[in-house]
Amino acid sequence: MPQAVVHVILTIIALDLIRDYAIKKRKFIPLHYLFLGGIFGLLPDADIPVYWLAKNILGYEAVWFHRTITHSLLFPFAAILLAALAFSFARKKRLWLFFAVMAFGFSMHLLLDGILTGYIPLFYPFSEARFGINLLGRIGWPAIVEGLEAVILLIWLYDLDRRHRLRDYL
């Protein structure tokens, strides 16, 4: 699994790039939605602290269940369904964007885990078949993950400065 910060940062960066380059309307996706996207990009790993709490605090001997239901397409599809329903029926028309950002964050997490570090059960609980590329495992460069988030953050900050002249605010 990529480090937690990679899930958060890459989701925020992807949403920011979509907002600035594809949609080209900064106000369409508010800044706090980028933050929420980062949280949703991390949320599929919420089963890790739940497992730790169950085992170490509550004394419950649970079977390790990471990368099961939270790493299936169930959550992204549910969020897409909620976005479609909100777009069609909600009084607050922007509510659909919240669920769309949620679906995007969940999907980014699955994409990162599937491409970089192993295999995920996309159709769990209906099938236990796992899909993925495991790029970092094949390359054999586990140490690259340690510096990956720093490199990504620096590239994004350079792009932000180039687009928005951040040094004017320093």
Q: Where are the domains of the chain?
A: 4-169
Task: Give residue 166's pLDDT.
Answer: 66
Write out the chain's pLDDT in tens, 170 residues: 567 888 898 899 899 889 988 988 888 888 889 999 999 999 998 888 888 887 778 777 777 677 888 899 999 999 999 999 999 988 777 899 999 999 999 999 999 988 888 888 888 889 888 888 877 776 666 566 667 777 888 888 888 787 777 666 55
Helix or strand run (H / E) with residue 10: helix 4-17
Question: CB within 8 A of 81, min separation 6: which ones?
Answer: none
In 3-state terms, the chain is what percent helix, strand and coil (to 5)?
70, 0, 30
CB hemisphere CA count around 58 (13 angstroms) = 10
Task: Give residue 82's pLDDT.
Answer: 95
